[in-house]
Amino acid sequence: MKAKSTSLRGSQRGNEQAGTAKKKSKRLPYAERRAQILEKATELFAEYGLTAQTRALAAECGISQRLLYRFFPTKEDLLKEVYDTRIIGPFQAVWFAELSDRSRPMSERLNKFYKDYLDTVLGRRWLRLFLYSSLAEADMAPNYISSIITKLTETIVQETAHEKGIALNMDPEAIHEIGWTIHGSISHYAIRRHIYHASQVVSQDMVVATHVSVFLNGFDAMVSQLDS
């Protein structure tokens, strides 16, 4: 941890070899360098948390720390852009509509959806960043992602009930809880894979199939329990 000498603070000559930085340090046009910084920042913040240092990021990019500030006024601004493009972005790319495609059985729709969702959204980078962000935000203000997930749980339950010919006479909050049983358990599967480093043996498709299966087969019992 301790530095070897007293006064070599900011002068690590030739920082190209530091970390995993690339060699061949060529000059990059504005847009490219900016994209590179965003990419590396995503990696860094996902791995070491939102408190990761700008100097580490610069080293990762193979540039001086000062140059970061040509692209982002403050670390806070960088953080915000990482969140917007790497958390919100992939989330918006998800095709939720397919869950309502009644020409296909619910089992198939759910399997397809969650296979995609795990690949597109619930990857290591996304999950770690999302958790770090969620833990950090003090305000309990409901955000964009929560609102979409809430709508998602609602869709899943209503579509399932429709396929089974079941009427739902219950509180909207109860409906959400039913939807959360599958969405939560699959999200937690991602968490234990990427955060706890568990559940690495059984194939992802098999796990999804299992979760869809338990949801569809336990659905009626849940409805009975929560119906009012």
Partner DNA sequence: TTCATAAGTCGTCAATTGACGACTTTGCGC
Partner DNA sequence: GCGCAAAGTCGTCAATTGACGACTTATGAA
Residues in touch with DNA (CB under 7 A): 1-3, 6, 9-11, 13, 25-30, 33, 51-55, 62-67, 69-70, 73-76
152 binds a second copy (CB under 8 A): no
Q: What SS3 class is residue 26? A: coil
Q: What SS3 class is residue 205? A: helix
113 binds a second copy (CB under 8 A): no
3-state secondary structure 123-158: CHHHHHHHHHHHHHCCCCCCCHHHHHHHHHHHHHHH
Q: What SS3 class is residue 195? A: coil
Q: How far is the CB of 64 from DNA (least distance, A)?
A: 3
Print the binding letters for residues 179-208 with a second copy: x by CB under 8 A, - otherwise: -xxx-xx-xxx-xx--xxxxx-xx---xx-
Point out which span in 15-23, 88-96, 97-105, 129-137 binds a second copy (CB under 8 A): 129-137
Q: How many CB atoms lie within 10 A of CB 171?
A: 12
Of these partners, a second copy, DNA, none, which one is at the site of residue 214 (CB under 5 to 8 Å by kind)? a second copy
The smaller minimum CB distance to DNA, of residues 79 and 156, is found at 79
The smaller minimum CB distance to a second copy, of residues 64 and 134, is found at 134
The smaller minimum CB distance to DNA, of residues 73 and 165, is found at 73
**Cα torsion at 131, 135, 136, 137 (round to 10°)?**
100
> Is 58 exposed, middle or buried, given 0-12, 13-18 or 19+ CB atoms closer than 10 A?
buried
Under rule CB under 8 A, which residues in 40-79 are in contact with a second copy?
49, 51
The smaller minimum CB distance to DNA, of residues 11 and 200, is found at 11
**Cα torsion at 89, 91, 93, 95 (round to 10°)?**
-170
For residue 25, report the phi and psi dihedrals to the nearest 5 degrees: -70, 85
HSE-CB of 146 using CA atoms within 13 angstroms: 5
Interface with a second copy by CB under 8 A: which residues?
49, 51, 128, 131-132, 134-136, 140, 142, 146, 150, 171, 173-174, 176-178, 180-182, 184-185, 187-189, 191-192, 195-199, 201-202, 206-207, 209-211, 213-222, 225-226
